[in-house]
Copies of this chain bind each other. A is one copy, B any other.
C-alpha cells in the first residue's frame, strides 16, 4: 500500500478519521489511532524517560512528571526493560563462575558462543544468518570490510580523484536517484567500490538500495552500505538485493544502548571466498580449532569469518533484549506502523504549521524515507532555540547546525498521541520564539 506517496497516506488517514468518526486534527483521532495500533504493547517493554530527566541546565520542565515525547531513536534508542535483567544475569554468571561462564552458563548463553544468541534474530531483520556477524563498532567494521572489498586496480582507478562524492543539486537536500545512476553509468568502469548510506542521517532520505546496487554491479563495482540509520527502521532485503557488504551500529533503531555492539552483512556469494585480503582475527577462525593456537587461520564461512575478537558479553545481551522485541513482531509490521506514524506527523505539520518558519526536507514519498523527518528552518541557528524550548515541553528531538531539527517517531515505542502533543508543542514554541518565515 501507499505506492504513490504522501497523498495516499493523507487520504488514508482521513479515511481512518472518517471511519472512527473523529476530526483528523483532534486529539481524539490520535487516541483512536493508538487504540487501533496492533503494536501498542511494545511501548510497555521500554523505559520511557520523564520530562524532568531530559531537560538540561537552564531549561525548566513544564510537566516534570509526565512521560516525555522521545523522538530521538535515530540517535539513541530507548532502553528495553529486559536489558537490565539480561545484563544482571550475565553479571551473576561472571560473579559466581568467572571464566567457567564461557562453557557453563545457567541461562544457557555460554560466552564462548555468546554471539549465537543474536545472529539469527539480527538476520531476521536484514538477511540470512550466514551473512550476519555481530562484532566491534560500526567504524571499525567499515574499515575491516573495506580492507577486503576496496581493492582498486590500475584499470579501475578514477583518473581525476580517488573519491567521487554524490551531492544533491545546488540548493536542494535530496539526491535524486537519477544523479546517482548517471554517475555510476558514466564513471562506473573506473569505480572500485560504491559505498552509500541506506537512510541518510541528515535528510532522512532512504536511498534506492536495490537499484543502486544493480547499476553499480553491472559496471563491475563492489557495493557496500552504511546502514546505521536504516537497520530496524526500514525493511531491508540485503540478500535479495545482492548487496556485497554492509555495516551498522545497534544503538539507534536497535536500542542496544550507548556504544552498543555493531553488525555486519556479507553476502552469501562471498561466504566461501577466502582469496580477498582480510584483516583477520582468531574469533573468525573455525570454532573447533580456535583454541589450539596452531597459528592456522581457518576462516568460518560467511560473515562470522570476519570476526576478530571475542565480543563483549554485556553488549551482546543488551542487544538481545531489544532483538527479542523485534522477534515478537516483524519489520513489515513495524514499517507499516512507521509509515502511518511518520505520515501522521507530516500530516499535522502540514495542516497545523505549514509555512511556519521551516520546510520538511525529507522526501515526501514514504518509500524514500525511514521514520525520520528533518525540518529545515529558514532562519539559521534558530533550531537551537527551538530544540531547547521543545525540551521544556518534554520533547526530545535532535538539532544539527546550521538549521535542522530531526524528529524520528519510532514505531517500537512511540505512539500517535505523542505525535499529536509534539506538534502542538512545536506550534507554541515557534510562536513564542517568533521564528521568521
Q: Distance in Å from the Cβ of A237 to the closest Cβ of chain B?
A: 27
Query: Are the CB atoms of A401 and B292 closer together than 8 Å?
Result: yes
Copies in the complex: 2
CB contacts (< 8 Å) of A13 on chain B: these are none
Residues of chain A at interface, number, CB under 8 A: 70
Query: Are the CB atoms of A83 and B72 closer together than 8 Å?
Result: no
Find residues 304-319 in chain A having any chain B CB closer than 8 Å to their own CB: 308-316, 318
Query: Are the CB atoms of A53 and B293 closer together than 8 Å?
Result: no
Query: Are the CB atoms of B396 and A100 closer together than 8 Å?
Result: yes
Q: Distance in Å from the Cβ of A112 to the closest Cβ of chain B?
A: 9
Residue of B nearest to A57 (CB): B104
C-beta contact mask, A391-428 vs B, less than 8 Å → 1, else 0?
00000101011000000000000000000000000000
| Separation of A310 and B396 alpha carbons in the complex (Å) | 21
CB contacts (< 8 Å) of A310 on chain B: these are 137, 258-259
Query: Are the CB atoms of A312 and B309 closer together than 8 Å?
Result: no
C-beta contact mask, A136-160 vs B, less than 8 Å → 1, else 0?
1111100110010000000000000
| Separation of A19 and B57 alpha carbons in the complex (Å) | 62
Q: Distance in Å from the Cβ of A232 to the closest Cβ of chain B?
A: 16
CB of A97 within 8 Å of the partner chain:
yes
CB of A98 within 8 Å of the partner chain:
yes
Find residues 270-314 in chain A having any chain B CB closer than 8 Å to their own CB: 279, 281-283, 291-293, 308-314
Please judge, given known A-B contacts A259-B309, A292-B401, whether A95 and B79 are in contact too, CB under 8 Å: yes
Query: Are the CB atoms of A308 and B139 closer together than 8 Å?
Result: yes
CB of A320 within 8 Å of the partner chain:
no
| Separation of A282 and B228 alpha carbons in the complex (Å) | 14
CB of A50 within 8 Å of the partner chain:
yes
Please judge, given known A-B contacts A70-B98, A76-B99, A401-B292, whether A260 and B312 are in contact too, CB under 8 Å: yes
| Separation of A103 and B398 alpha carbons in the complex (Å) | 13
Please judge, given known A-B contacts A79-B94, A96-B50, whether A104 and B56 are in contact too, CB under 8 Å: yes
Q: Distance in Å from the Cβ of A261 to the closest Cβ of chain B?
A: 7
Q: Distance in Å from the Cβ of A110 to the closest Cβ of chain B?
A: 10
| Separation of A292 and B399 alpha carbons in the complex (Å) | 11
Query: Are the CB atoms of A309 and B257 closer together than 8 Å?
Result: no
Q: Distance in Å from the Cβ of A328 to the closest Cβ of chain B?
A: 20
C-beta contact mask, A250-271 vs B, less than 8 Å → 1, else 0?
0000000111111000000000
Find residues 66-116 in chain A having any chain B CB closer than 8 Å to their own CB: 70, 72, 75-76, 78-79, 81, 83-84, 87-88, 90-91, 94-104, 111, 114
Contact with A258, one of B88, B111, B140, B308 (Cβ below 8 angstroms): B111
Find residues 8-64 in chain A having any chain B CB closer than 8 Å to their own CB: 47, 49-50, 53-54, 56-57
CB of A202 within 8 Å of the partner chain:
yes
| Separation of A137 and B281 alpha carbons in the complex (Å) | 11
Residue of B nearest to A295 (CB): B165
| Separation of A318 and B314 alpha carbons in the complex (Å) | 9
List, sorted by A's number, 9 A–B pairs whose CB atoms are closer than 8 Å. A47-B96, A57-B104, A76-B102, A83-B91, A91-B257, A98-B396, A111-B259, A136-B140, A139-B309
Beyond contacts A53-B100, A70-B98: 20 other A-B pairs, Cβ-Cβ < 8 A, are A50-B96, A54-B100, A76-B99, A79-B91, A79-B98, A84-B88, A84-B95, A87-B87, A87-B91, A87-B314, A100-B396, A138-B309, A143-B143, A258-B313, A259-B310, A259-B312, A259-B313, A261-B312, A291-B400, A314-B318
Q: Which 9 A-B pairs have the closest CB atoms?
A: A137-B309, A47-B95, A139-B281, A259-B312, A76-B99, A139-B308, A258-B313, A53-B96, A139-B309
